[in-house]
Amino acid sequence: MSAEQNSAQAFTGQKTGLGALQFLAFGLGMAHALTPQAVWIGLLLLAVGFAPSVYRVVRAFHNVCSHRGSQVCWERSGTRGSTTSFKCPYHGFTYDLEGKLRFVPDEENFYGLEKDRMGLAGVATDTWEGFIFVHLSPKPAETLRAYIGEIGDGLAGYPFHEQAHQYSYRAVLNCNWKLLISSFLEGFHVRSLHAAGLRRFVSNNNPYSHLDFVKLLDKHRLISLFVNPAASPTRLADIAFSRYRKSLQSSSNNLPSSGSDAGGGTSKGSALDKFLIRNIFPNFQLNLVMGGWYAYQFWPLAVDRVLWETRMCFSKPVNATQKFFQYYARYASRDNLMEDGRVTEHQQLAIKSGVIKKLTIQDEEIAVQHFNKVVEDYTRSTSA
Amino acid sequence: MNTANSDRPLPEGFEDLEQFVEQWALAEEQARMHKRWSSSLEEIQRFYDAMVLRVEPALDYLDARNIERLSASENRLLYLTYSLVEVANAVEIYGQPASPHALPPERFVPVERL
């Protein structure tokens, strides 16, 4: 492919466009791993409650009080383990986990109040392989399974729930959400930006970390980062990985035994020798890594601000060696991620200056271009 | 639930690492991040050089115990191994406490586990 150009304007964007988009990955955990709690991001509110006695029910609502429209939950996104109700801080209107309006202060002073019609406005929810998604339309035109489509190939029944020991990070960056996501859609920047990634992701034969393969789907994309099997580990990486492998051999806490090809059909070798990035449009990224999986969620807060939540999940560690390895694994990723986060802020400032009118793209950045094309198409279709 | 070691800084046999307990045996990931970012490379190097030789004996010692029921001194030993992880790239890759291209630690924040 010859060098392509891309609109600088599209990257900084005048609107986030997310509200008009499709299924959004949502929530800090997986449906079956959650205890009753609430999670909220901006104008979305996720409530996980228990139906009478047995099964968990996941509900999502607009985080908007039906009285005079304040946000019901104000604090930064997070969880409240024992939440049984949502109380709007403004006047104290209180809703239960099903979204029903349960308490109105000074109720007798309202006239003709239809309490049973003043619950929190619902948002559709569904789950895929245990991951919670929401859809702003009460009745989505397509099912979540159809929406996920081919990007989910090879993951049916993948034992995500066996690797539910979770560590999370949170960052609010001063950049457009698309810039941050784009930084995970190519390996071209590894050689320059990521000293810590250099040993693993480049080789003499592949000095610029050309991707193993790219799959561009209708809305989603899958890229496989090159991993150099001959890279010499650092001293501590060697200790962490060697001990971890030995520890797995002598414990029942094993790597996923799934025989399916989680790489999506065209990869060779096991998923654990690879670094696969599944970018599930619009706001979710799922990486399979050694001993676990990472999930990123991206939430535009404004044109030039994004909330970035990173979850790194592993099997429950059964001994100190496994805890040590898990700390090493997420820390090694963290050093690189903190560079990705910072560079996108510098990019935002630079693009906003208007000095360059076009962004230039090379072959290895094709998934970046694909992602932005899909965003553009959605934005155009919803603003028409 | 604590063993007899709980009133010592570290389990028996790891006395040589006691000098690092106050500064580096930190229970929280965010505290370890701040310690790394706020330390000089010399201080980091001194801890790394001592700890990297002792991390395998420390993990061998801890692996023989129930990870859910570590005593206070055993936990401190585990935290020292975590802090070694935290500073490894400083010594092995960057030659300075952290990457000059990284966000500051207070902007990439570990969230309490569910």
- The answer to whether residue A235 neighbours chain B at the CB level (below 8 Å) is yes
CA distance readout (Å), B21 to B62, B74, B77: 16, 12, 8
The one-digit pLDDT tens for each residue of chain A (384 residues) are: 333 334 444 444 434 444 434 566 654 444 444 444 555 555 566 665 544 333 456 777 888 899 998 888 776 544 444 567 788 889 999 998 788 999 999 999 999 999 999 998 888 888 888 887 887 777 788 888 898 999 999 899 888 888 888 888 989 999 998 999 999 999 999 999 998 888 889 999 999 999 999 999 999 999 999 999 888 899 999 999 999 999 988 865 444 443 334 433 333 334 446 788 999 988 889 998 878 899 998 887 778 888 898 989 999 999 999 999 999 999 989 999 999 999 999 999 999 899 999 899 999 999 999 999 988 888 777 665
pLDDT score at A128: 86
Residues of A in contact with B35 (CB under 8 A): none
Residue A145 lies in a domain: no
Other CB atoms within a 10 A radius of the CB of residue A129 amount to 16
For the domain that residue A183 is a member of, what is the CATH number?
Answer: 3.90.380.10
Residues in chain A closer than 8 A to B89 (CB atoms)? 196, 234, 331-332, 335
Residue B8: pLDDT above 60?
Answer: yes
pLDDT top residue among B5 and A368? A368
- Does A312 share its domain with A370? yes
Residue A47 confidence (pLDDT): 61
In a domain, A150, yes or no: no
> A79 in a domain, yes or no?
yes
Domain boundary, last residue among A139, A172, A195:
A139
Which of A139, A174, A208 delimits the end of a domain? Answer: A139
Q: Tell me whether residues A327 and B85 touch, CB distance under 8 A.
A: yes
Same domain, A68 and A213: no
Planar angle of CA B55, B59, B65, nearest 5 degrees: 155
Based on the fold, state whether residues A169 and A295 are members of the same structural domain: yes
Q: Are the beta carbons of A240 and A325 closer than 8 angstroms?
A: yes
Last residue of a domain, one of A76, A106, A139: A139
Give me the residue label for tokens 């081919």: A150
User: Which amino acid, residue B34?
Assistant: H
Alpha helical stretches, state H, B1-114: 21-24, 29-38, 41-52, 55-63, 72-89
Q: Is there a contact between B114 and A167 if contact means CB atoms under 8 Å apart?
A: no
Same-domain status, A335 and A280: yes
Residue A383: per-residue pLDDT: 62
A46 touches chain B (CB under 8 A): no
C-alpha A271/C-alpha A261 separation (Å) is 7
- Asked if A182 and A364 count as a contact pair (C-beta separation under 8 A), the reply is no
**Domain co-membership, A248 together with A312:** yes
**Residue A149: inside a domain:** no
Q: A284 lies in a domain?
A: yes
> Could you tell me which chain A residue has the CA closest to the CA of B62?
A320
Asked if B18 contacts B51 with a C-beta cutoff of 8 angstroms, the reply is: no
Does one domain contain both A125 and A165?
A: no
Same domain, A119 and A208: no
User: Does residue A151 fall inside a structural domain?
Assistant: no
Burial of A275 (0-12, 13-18, 19+ CB in 10 A): buried
Residue A279 has a pLDDT of: 94
Chain A residues whose CB is inside 8 A of the B62 CB are 319-321
Least Cα separation, residue A278 to chain B (angstroms): 22
Torsion over CA of B52, B57, B58 and B64, rounded to 10 degrees? 150
Cα(A12)–Cα(A16) distance, rounded to whole angstroms? 9
Examine the domain organization and report whether A80 and A188 are in the same domain. no
Q: Establish if A233 touches chain B: CB-CB under 8 angstroms.
A: no
The answer to whether B64 and B57 are in contact (CB under 8 A) is no
Segment 287-316 of chain A within 8 Å of chain B by CB: 309
Full domain range(s) for residue A377:
1-16+157-384
Tokens at A171, concatenated: 């960052």
- Residue A315 and residue A166 in contact, taking contact as beta carbons nearer than 8 Å: no
CA distance, residue B76 to nearest chain A CA (Å):
12
In a domain, A146, yes or no: no
pTM: 0.85
Please name the amino acid found at residue A33: A
Tokens coding A83 = 């939440």
Number of Cβ pairs < 8 A linking chain A and chain B? 117
- Closest Cα in chain B, distance from residue A347 (Å): 13
Cβ distance of B108 and A341 shorter than 8 Å? yes
Q: Which residue of A has its CA nearest to B52?
A: A236
What are phi and psi for residue A157, nearest 5 degrees?
75, 10
Does one domain contain both A270 and A166? yes
The C-alpha atoms of residue A84 and residue B104 are separated, in whole angstroms, by 36
Residue B79 has pLDDT above 70, yes or no: yes
3-state secondary structure of B35: helix
Interface contact B92-A171, CB threshold 8 A:
no
Q: Are A293 and A231 members of one domain?
A: yes
The rounded Cα A384 to chain-centroid distance in angstroms is 28
**What are the residues facing A95 on neighbouring strands?**
A86, A101
Using a CB-CB cut-off of 8 Å, the residues of chain A touching B111 are 28, 78, 168-170, 309
Tens-digit pLDDT profile for residues B49-73: 999 999 999 999 999 999 999 999 9
Q: Are residues A358 and A224 in the same domain?
A: yes
Q: How many domains does chain A have?
A: 2
CATH number of the domain at A72, please.
2.102.10.10
Same domain, A132 and A191: no
- Report yes or no on A123 lying in a domain: yes
- What is the Cα–Cα distance from A97 to A36, expressed in whole angstroms? 9
| Interface check A334 vs B, CB under 8 A | yes
C-beta atoms of A341 and B103 within 8 A: yes
Q: Is the pLDDT of residue B4 over 90?
A: no
Give A239's contacts in chain B (Cβ within 8 Å). 55-56
Helix (H, G, I), strand (E, B) or coil at B110: strand
Of A35, A79, A171, which has the smallest distance from its Cβ to B108's Cβ? A171
